[in-house]
A and B are shown apart, each in its own frame.
Chain A
């Protein structure tokens, strides 16, 4: 009678041979948002680009990758809405100025290229990311700004709070309501836009099936 290990030996051998001869999984689905997919490579790239833009170290921890995945899900939801509703999209050339600003942070073109290499991304990846930021801003403006009305009482209430802060901070002279009004209105509008965007994203998450694949973000 064979011992148990002898009995299973051929199978172990087969599995080990398979493991030795296996290839590398170079990309796979991490999350699906409706019919859109976010791959693991995309999540890693998002982490890297964010690090470049924030001038931070690359952190590929699960927590950071989950944050990046969250941003990519929101991107997918917005892209989906933009395709359905045919929102106008910016031309790639519109990112030139922003790219110049990003490059200006580096001493030279060579330093900039070195940084890209270190972070493991290409200039094209960066351009795509900047284009996306612009697209998102454009979408927000079209989708939410027209519906926002700031009342005079809200402006006054904000001004009163701000005036107290200015006085406490010793700002002299304290700006008048008339002078501060355009800025206050913009601040309140931005706050309201943020609220609307959050609300819209929460609703969209409920309407579109979002599925996390088994091995994603482990």
Chain B
């Protein structure tokens, strides 16, 4: 083979071969990337047929186009029955898994792999590895590793022709900054420049930072940003070199600064902050001044003032150049301020006004958020284009839409109306659809996906959408060369079109096999079970990307690359490659915080049974071990300590349990010492196992088995006679299930939709429980948009506990406690419901009913909103004592509905709204409290005094109430 490929001279189809019959065709080596049948099917060389030079060339071309070969030669020998042909081949190789190790970030492994430019599945050559090493050295140098050495190790998998490349890096020590060398017209001292860069640690007290690419870039950006703020708009800051000092392993970046002339930018005729001017004018962003940018600035300023209600604004600019500086003056003539009084849409029949208004960004004036309304002419043009497209997509080919401003509308000065006139014209429909080139089984699958079926509106947009649907369908069935063409001709019926879709699927491609690389600790079967493709399947793009997504969903990979090997090769089946990078095994989290609220008082003192304002600092720490045993499971410990609670939670989570993406299994162990209910302190030891199942996008169910033992610590603040009844240590074992239906648009801050949950639990002695009871908690919440930003939301919660065996009373720790920021806001946290008749402390109840309604509305800008709310309901002593009664009958009556009316403020943040609620409760409960010591309570003495839950409450927390 080597002789044939490298040594032998060519005899260009000598005459002794031309036209002679081909006796046989062989391949050298005999083991080829494609089967003999596949190879012979693509070659024009057939035994028995005469040999032609053009056929030999064609054969070489076709073999090469498979992409599987680096070199091909055809060898001929004259035999008794004709010419024996031997096709001598040298296989091609392809990039497989690329790993780069040995560097502490930055750069991270992903950046390093990217820098090699070795792309999964593409042709591989040894030269590429050499270039990749150079690129890595360069990247490492840019990140301060001046002494880094890179070694590459390639291994070839002959069966898949894949080359895995492993780069091992000895990075050495990262260099540090040691100064800055600035030349040119800097306007600043070098010390001042260094101060801008942030390259010194704590202003130099701790020396210099180490060199990283991003730190260098940020430092230079900081220097650049200084100049426009000081009227040097045209300043140029260039990195000239980085001077490395090997002796000290430090670098001195050299920069060249040309500060340029002073250019003052002023806005005359209107008041604007310097920051606003800088954010609006493009000359600041582009750092250059030319006529086009100055003109663009006038338009940007005009647009800004229009958005403020100055629709007649005129903006122009002038430049003056007194010696030594230049002034750019934008002269603004705002005119009078207008108000958008009305937006009116006329002539629409097919779409209702609500549908069209949703597509228009004009907002008529309303207090307090849009005092002048919101309106911009350029936005309006874009919105009208959008509506025009909507009509055309629905068959209104001749639709005409115009709009105009009417000032002093209805005689009110400076009151603007925006009037939109629509002439819909005739609607066009599809009369007949002819699908050519689509076999029956595909036709049945395709028709439901198409918009342009008979009787449906005809539009170019719908045809384009159908084209995408058809091609997607074929691409996902293994036809990457599928092509689509269409013709439309007017039908006999007026305003009707006959459509003809011509589909040419092309050759079908299949999966040769799936190759996964990069697994170090993860079990191969775990990964294989998430890949929805196997050998001989049609090559489906959606399955390739779907499998990639499922691998990411395991949460154990930092990177999952998916590619076809030899993507441009014309071969009938291809390897599907997945190259993964496993994520770090440990994840840490920690936090500090504090709670402020009526959380003080109680637990040891009989004072303030209704709670006092308190402050509770909190520290939390957690550690998780990902991909436990290579199974993709997670083991974690989460701890938190505050003055109210000390908690340790051990969790084992098996997501996608048994390979099913809709199942997860969770084991939990909990140790908790809690003082959050002011009546008592408790120690809880709990273990549970939960199977979660996602039934559909909206519906899910959880099955749980729980054991817990709760000890009341110390003396609970209740009548001594009740202590043996309510606060002895108790072990509870129960099964429970929770059904959840979540159809909210946004779980963090819902604007529409519904959320329902039903939680049912049964504690029984056959589950090891010392007491038998059943518990049910049901919740239903709905969200209704009244307008674009005004939401009416409501929620109702109902719960009951029924004892049926074991202890004579439900223990304190198992009862319902309510009240607080996420419950009835008439109460401080856990202060609702029945109270001890002697001490006045809450003792929880066996039933729960709380209803909340909220009106959520915008206040100022995009992020500040307000809420008006009413909460009513309570925790009740028993389900048959639930009452919606307003008034408290006497000081021992707690079974009535306590009302809270209030106002809240929400500030939108990326993690949900921060909220403050102030509530007023006209019927907050009065009760007897005990004035005295615990000993006096036990042995006599002290006295009862009438107390009341404060009428005013405030709550501060994160997230909406529901």
Residues of A near any B CB (own CB < 8 A): 18-19, 21-29, 32, 35-37, 39-42, 44-45, 213-215
| Given known A-B contacts A23-B75, A25-B75, A42 and B6 have beta carbons under 8 A apart | no
Closest chain B residue to A18, Cβ basis:
B3
Within 8 A of A (CB), among B29-83: 53, 56-57, 60-61, 64-65, 67, 71-78
Closest chain B residue to A60, Cβ basis:
B12
| Given known A-B contacts A26-B13, A215-B6, A37 and B76 have beta carbons under 8 A apart | no
State whether the Cβ of B405 lies closer than 8 Å to any Cβ in chain A.
no
Complex Cα–Cα for A23 and B3 (A): 11
Residues of B near any A CB (own CB < 8 A): 3-14, 17, 53, 56-57, 60-61, 64-65, 67, 71-78, 84, 86, 568-570
Closest chain A residue to B16, Cβ basis:
A24
**Minimal beta-carbon separation of A49 from chain B (angstroms):** 13
Please state if B86 and A27 are interface contacts (CB–CB under 8 Å): no
Query: Which A residues touch B569, using CB under 8 A?
Result: 35
Complex Cα–Cα for A24 and B86 (A): 10
Please state if B77 and A41 are interface contacts (CB–CB under 8 Å): no
Please state if B72 and A29 are interface contacts (CB–CB under 8 Å): yes
Query: Which A residues touch B17, using CB under 8 A?
Result: 24, 26
| Given known A-B contacts A18-B3, A39-B57, A44-B12, A27 and B64 have beta carbons under 8 A apart | no
Query: Which A residues touch B84, using CB under 8 A?
Result: 23
Total residue contacts A-B, CB cutoff 8 A: 96
Please state if B64 and A35 are interface contacts (CB–CB under 8 Å): yes
Query: Which A residues touch B67, using CB under 8 A?
Result: 35
**Minimal beta-carbon separation of B756 from chain A (angstroms):** 57
Query: Which B residues touch A32, using CB under 8 A?
Result: 64
Query: Which B residues touch A39, using CB under 8 A?
Result: 56-57, 60-61
Query: Which B residues touch A25, using CB under 8 A?
Result: 4, 8-11, 73-76
Query: Which B residues touch A29, using CB under 8 A?
Result: 60, 64, 71-73
Query: Which B residues touch A215, using CB under 8 A?
Result: 5-7
B57, B76, B570: residue with the most chain A Cβ atoms closer than 10 Å: B57
Complex Cα–Cα for A131 and B146 (A): 59
Please state if A26 and B12 are interface contacts (CB–CB under 8 Å): yes
- Given A24-B14, A27-B73, A213-B71, output 7 extra A-B contacts at Cβ < 8 Å: A25-B73, A26-B13, A28-B72, A28-B74, A32-B64, A39-B61, A40-B12
Please state if A214 and B8 are interface contacts (CB–CB under 8 Å): no
Please state if B64 and A41 are interface contacts (CB–CB under 8 Å): no
Query: Which B residues touch A40, using CB under 8 A?
Result: 10, 12
Complex Cα–Cα for A27 and B14 (A): 11
**Minimal beta-carbon separation of A171 from chain B (angstroms):** 50
Please state if B60 and A37 are interface contacts (CB–CB under 8 Å): yes
| Given known A-B contacts A26-B53, A29-B71, A213-B71, A41 and B6 have beta carbons under 8 A apart | no
Query: Which B residues touch A27, using CB under 8 A?
Result: 10, 12-13, 53, 56-57, 60, 73-74
Closest chain B residue to A209, Cβ basis:
B123
Complex Cα–Cα for A36 and B56 (A): 15
A22, A39, A44: residue with the most chain B Cβ atoms closer than 10 Å: A39
> Which of B3, B14, B53, B60 sits near A28, CB closer than 8 Å?
B60
Query: Which B residues touch A36, using CB under 8 A?
Result: 61
Please state if B12 and A28 are interface contacts (CB–CB under 8 Å): no
Please state if B73 and A41 are interface contacts (CB–CB under 8 Å): no
**Minimal beta-carbon separation of A188 from chain B (angstroms):** 34
Query: Which B residues touch A28, using CB under 8 A?
Result: 5, 10, 60, 71-74
Complex Cα–Cα for A173 and B61 (A): 58
**Minimal beta-carbon separation of A131 from chain B (angstroms):** 15
Please state if B11 and A37 are interface contacts (CB–CB under 8 Å): no
Query: Which B residues touch A45, using CB under 8 A?
Result: 12
Q: List 29 A-B contacts (CB under 8 A).
A: A22-B3, A22-B4, A22-B8, A23-B75, A23-B84, A24-B11, A24-B14, A25-B4, A25-B10, A26-B11, A26-B76, A27-B12, A27-B13, A27-B60, A27-B73, A28-B60, A29-B64, A29-B73, A32-B64, A35-B64, A35-B65, A35-B568, A39-B61, A41-B12, A41-B56, A42-B57, A45-B12, A213-B71, A215-B7
Closest chain B residue to A24, Cβ basis:
B11
Query: Which B residues touch A41, using CB under 8 A?
Result: 10, 12-13, 53, 56-57
Closest chain A residue to B10, Cβ basis:
A40
Query: Which A residues touch B13, using CB under 8 A?
Result: 26-27, 41
Closest chain B residue to A40, Cβ basis:
B10
Query: Which B residues touch A35, using CB under 8 A?
Result: 64-65, 67, 568-570
Please state if B3 and A37 are interface contacts (CB–CB under 8 Å): no
Complex Cα–Cα for A25 and B65 (A): 21
Please state if A23 and B12 are interface contacts (CB–CB under 8 Å): no
**Minimal beta-carbon separation of A45 from chain B (angstroms):** 8
Closest chain A residue to B86, Cβ basis:
A23
A19, A26, A36, A45: residue with the most chain B Cβ atoms closer than 10 Å: A26
**Minimal beta-carbon separation of B42 from chain A (angstroms):** 14
Complex Cα–Cα for A26 and B14 (A): 7
Complex Cα–Cα for A39 and B53 (A): 11
Complex Cα–Cα for A29 and B5 (A): 10
Complex Cα–Cα for A35 and B4 (A): 22
Complex Cα–Cα for A42 and B10 (A): 12
**Minimal beta-carbon separation of A25 from chain B (angstroms):** 5
**Minimal beta-carbon separation of B84 from chain A (angstroms):** 7
Closest chain B residue to A215, Cβ basis:
B6
Closest chain A residue to B56, Cβ basis:
A27
Closest A-B pairs by Cβ, 7 of them: A23-B77, A28-B73, A23-B75, A24-B11, A37-B64, A27-B56, A26-B76
Query: Which B residues touch A21, using CB under 8 A?
Result: 77
Query: Which A residues touch B76, using CB under 8 A?
Result: 23-26
Complex Cα–Cα for A44 and B61 (A): 17
Complex Cα–Cα for A19 and B10 (A): 15
Query: Which B residues touch A24, using CB under 8 A?
Result: 8, 11, 14, 17, 75-77
